[in-house]
């Protein structure tokens, strides 16, 4: 977990007592098998935030809830308070987002987005904005928007929710407006873009192209329909991807495990095309 960043002000409310039995919307963020037939799930919910729950006997063929308690779906989950984990008693599927699973790249992207949400939250603090963000991203993947654009849009808005919106309009050191004929450096530890007049950190960084800077601004300002319609050079998309991933890694203080898998899939896809 990362330290006392502003997300605690934005997304968290004082803990409220949860009744013994309750029902909530939820999306599965991760899961692992426990014992002979049980499974422990990490769920994100709008009102209670992130929580761990146990589904008992879910891996038995006779389980009533087995098939529905899956990732990449918005679920309605009934839970009973338990000592270590709350216990899942009933599940129904609200939105299945079946198209999202059709492509390996969009499914791997969905895992990556879930992992980022997981790492951004502490357990049992309300998380409506992050829940809404993840839900929207899954809708977009399901609707067929390019997975890398959904991922960039999500990273940018997640950073915003975490209270660490990247600065792409002014120099992070001298506060001057960045000008189109200037030269820029991307310095995540300082919070964004540095102009060429400021020395910045001692180890020099590669410059950020004007096109990548414009695309970063677009991810902050444009709605998803406009983003989906943008025509962008591949090299600029890759530069922007590297920039936003680095910023996100910095904000969450580590690499996402699911990125290695996502990159492998994309690498394989490129080889198959060539
Ligand atoms: Zn400057």
Which tens digit of pLDDT belongs to each residue from 182-219? 899 999 999 999 998 998 777 667 789 999 999 999 99
> Is pLDDT above 70 for 13?
no
Percent of the chain whose pLDDT exceeds 90:
72
Q: What is the reported pLDDT for 272?
A: 67
Of 262, 47, 253, 3, the C-alpha closest to 152 is: 262
| Residue 217: predicted pLDDT | 97
pLDDT higher for 228 or 83? 228
Residue 192 CA to ligand 1 center (angstroms) comes to 11
Q: DSSP labels for 137-150?
A: HHHHHHTT--HHHH
Quick one: average pLDDT of 119-148?
A: 94
What average pLDDT does the segment 42-66 reach?
A: 92
What is the Å distance from ligand 1's center to 243 Cα?
19
Average pLDDT over residues 214-242: 96
Given this model, what pLDDT does residue 2 score?
37
Lowest mean pLDDT among 16-20, 127-131, 157-161, 204-208: 16-20
Average pLDDT over residues 58-70: 87
Contact 69, 229 (CB under 8 A): no
Find the 184 Cα to ligand 1 centroid distance in Å: 9
Q: Would the pLDDT of 48 be above 80?
A: yes
Dist. CA 185 → ligand 1 center (Å): 10
Q: How far apart are the first and last CA of the chain?
A: 41
Q: What is the C-alpha to C-alpha distance for residues 11 and 21, in angstroms, rounded to an integer?
A: 24
Coil, strand or helix at 85: coil
Q: Under DSSP, is residue 171 helix (H, G, I), strand (E, B) or coil?
A: coil
Quote the ligand 1 centre to 155 CA distance (angstroms): 25
Cβ neighbours for 64, distance < 8 A, ≥ 6 positions apart:
none
The mean per-residue pLDDT over the stretch 99-115 comes to 95
Mean pLDDT on 27-36: 94
> Could you give the CA distance from residue 163 to residue 149 in angstroms, rounded to a whole number?
21
Lowest mean pLDDT among 28-37, 163-172, 193-202, 260-269: 260-269
How many whole angstroms from 177 Cα to the centroid of ligand 1? Answer: 9
Using alpha carbons, select from 114, 148, 120 the residue that is nearest to residue 219. 148
Mean pLDDT value across the chain: 89
Q: Is the pLDDT of residue 15 over 60?
A: no
Spacing, Cα 257 to ligand 1 middle (Å): 34
Give the strand order in the sheet containing 192-195.
192-195, 184-187, 207-208
3-class SS at 181? coil
% of the chain residues with pLDDT over 70: 90
When computed from its CA atoms, the radius of gyration of the chain, rounded to whole angstroms, is 20
3-class SS shares of the chain: helix, strand, coil, % to 5: 40, 20, 40
Phi, psi of 159 (to 5 degrees): -60, -40
Residue 266 CB neighbour total at 10 angstroms: 16
How far does residue 212's CA lie from ligand 1's centre (Å)?
A: 18
């Amino acid at each position: 977990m990362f330290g006392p960043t502003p997300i605690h002000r934005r997304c968290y409310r004082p803990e409220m007592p949860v009744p013994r039995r309750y029902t909530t919307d939820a999306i599965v963020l991760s899961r692992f098998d426990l014992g002979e037939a049980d499974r422990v799930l990490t769920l994100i919910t709008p009102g209670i935030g992130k929580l761990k729950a146990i589904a008992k006997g879910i891996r038995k063929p006779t389980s009533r809830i087995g098939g529905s308690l899956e990732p990449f779906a918005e679920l309605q989950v009934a839970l009973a308070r338990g000592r270590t984990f709350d216990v899942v008693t009933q599940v129904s599927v609200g939105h299945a987002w079946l198209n999202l699973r059709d492509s390996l790249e969009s499914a791997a992207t969905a895992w990556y987005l879930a992992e980022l949400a997981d790492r951004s939250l502490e357990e049992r603090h309300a998380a409506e904005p992050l829940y809404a963000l993840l839900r929207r991203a899954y809708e977009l993947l399901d609707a067929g928007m390019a997975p890398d654009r959904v991922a960039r849009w999500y990273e940018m808005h997640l950073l915003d929710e975490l209270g660490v919106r990247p600065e792409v309009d002014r120099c992070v050191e001298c506060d001057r407006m960045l000008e189109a004929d200037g030269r820029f450096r991307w310095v995540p530890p300082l919070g964004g873009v540095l102009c060429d007049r400021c020395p910045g950190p001692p180890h020099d960084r590669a410059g950020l192209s004007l096109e990548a800077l414009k695309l970063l601004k677009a991810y902050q300002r444009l709605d998803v329909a406009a983003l989906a319609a943008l025509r962008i050079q591949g090299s600029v998309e890759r530069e922007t991807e590297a920039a936003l991933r680095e910023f996100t890694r910095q904000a969450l203080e580590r690499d996402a495990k699911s990125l290695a898998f996502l990159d492998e899939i994309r690498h394989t896809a490129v080889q198959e095309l060539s």
